[in-house]
Amino acid sequence: NAGVTQTPKFRVLKTGQSMTLLCAQDMNHEYMYWYRQDPGMGLRLIHYSVGEGTTAKGEVPDGYNVSRLKKQNFLLGLESAAPSQTSVYFCASSYSSAWSGELFFGEGSRLTVL
C-alpha cells in the first residue's frame, strides 16, 4: 500500500527553469492538495482539487499551476522558477465524505532554486 507518492524527492533548478512535481495516490481519494513548508511558517496551501478535472487556488498560488487530469494524480508546475520558491513541497489527499480532517501526506519534495 503506497499511499501518497511524490516525485522527484529532490531537485535543484536555476532561476527561470520550469519543472513539474508529480503526486500519485492509490487510495481513491477525491481531494488532493499541494502545500509548501518553509521554516517558521508551517504549511501553506498552494492549490487544491476536489475531484478529477477540478482545481482551485489556495493561500499562495502565484507562480504555480496545477492539473488533475486523472483522479489519482495531481501535478504541480513551476513555469519560471524563482529563488523564493525554494521550499519543501508536500502533496496530501483525503476522503470527500465522512470528513474528519485526516490528510494523508507524501514524504515531501525538496526544491532548491539557485
Partner 1 sequence: GEDVEQSLFLSVREGDSSVINCTYTDSSSTYLYWYKQEPGAGLQLLTYIFSNMDMKQDQRLTVLLNKKDKHLSLRIADTQTGDSAIYFCAESTGSSNTGKLIFGQGTTLQVKP
Q: Is 26 in the site for partner 1 (CB under 8 A)?
A: no
As measured in angstroms, the least distance from the Cβ of 16 to partner 1 is: 29
As measured in angstroms, the least distance from the Cβ of 86 to partner 1 is: 17
Phi, psi of 7, rounded to the nearest 5 degrees: -140, 145
Contact positions with partner 1 (CB under 8 A) in 34-73: 35, 40-45, 48, 50, 56, 58
The Cα–Cα gap between 26 and 16 comes to 33
When computed from its CA atoms, the radius of gyration of the chain, rounded to whole angstroms, is 13
Number of residues that bind partner 1 (CB under 8 A): 27
